[in-house]
Amino acid sequence: MTRRISWGSGAVYALLLLGAAIAFLPFAWMLLTSFKTFEEVNQIPIRILPHSLHWDNYAQALNQMSFFKFMGNTVFITILSIVGTVLSCSVTAYAFAKYRFPGKNMIFGIVLATMMIPGQITSIPLYIQYQKFGWIDTYYPLIVPLFFATTSFGVFLLRQFFMTIPNELTEAARLDGCGEFRIFRSIVIPLVAPALTSLAVFVFLWTWNDLFNPVLYLQSIEKFTLSQGLTILTLSQSREAGPAGLIPWQLTSAAMIVVTLPSVLVFFFAQKQFVEGIAMTGIKS
């Protein structure tokens, strides 16, 4: 029996390592490409390792895409998106988890149903609405809705976590004279810190890598995000391709590595709270 278990565990670890290698392969290839010369990128047969590390590819790529200007815009949008989503979703989820009011289950069911609707379906009516508001070519469409709990996944995630908190804890606080806001701020929020961290990581990844919404609402180059900057860089490199159609992919790869690095660092430093928040969600329904 022990031998069977060991063989089973070994097979599981082997499959996990294989999956991790497959997932990491595109990133590794992009990293190696970012250090190559133009000739090495377009060499036939394909050259896997660069002859030497060309760090100047990074400086050239970042200068061409106005990296620091676009990064400032992206950081601004991302921070406000995280704050708005965490604040609004936590309050809404707490109400669904701990309060009774008419139609609560039906309203929560509608919230869950919106998770099944692709965002592209509502993009046209939302664009018309924001156009009437005069919000086109501003950051308002990317930020303001998030302060009204429009992230249904965040409401669901936090609601499931709030359900794990014993009602006796909040009732005891009320008997001691604590108000509802103080109970929420001083007792409930510290207990759900892993879930809040998980939601913040999700929002960071969604916002940092989002291309669809910035392209839809932003028109001025000085307001573009990093994802739009990468698109501009890729298009400019494609236009500069010679008669043979050879594109300097080393510059695009270098820019992609720099843009991807913050997402990797955020997940690395928050992975403990992130995994804990996901693992404990849904223990009590």
Pick the CATH number of 25-46+53-280 from 1.20.1420.30, 3.40.930.10, 1.10.3720.10, 3.30.750.80: 1.10.3720.10
Predicted TM-score (pTM) of this structure: 0.86
The Cα–Cα gap between 29 and 44 comes to 16
Match 């430093």 to its residue by tokens.
Answer: 269
Looking at the chain, list the stretches that DSSP marks H as alpha helix, in order from N- to C-terminal side.
2-33, 38-41, 56-64, 67-98, 104-114, 123-133, 140-143, 152-162, 167-175, 180-182, 189-191, 193-209, 212-217, 226-239, 249-280
**Residues 172-202: tens digit of each pLDDT:** 888 888 888 999 998 899 888 888 988 999 9
Residue with the bigger pLDDT between 282 and 78: it is 78
Cβ-based neighbours of 171, under 8 Å, separated by 6 or more: none
Determine the 3-state secondary structure of 85 from DSSP.
helix
- Which pLDDT score, from 0 to 100, does residue 283 have? 47
* Distances in whole angstroms, Cα of residue 284 to Cα of each of 99, 166, 271: 16, 10, 23
The Cα–Cα gap between 121 and 221 comes to 26
Average pLDDT over residues 244-259: 82
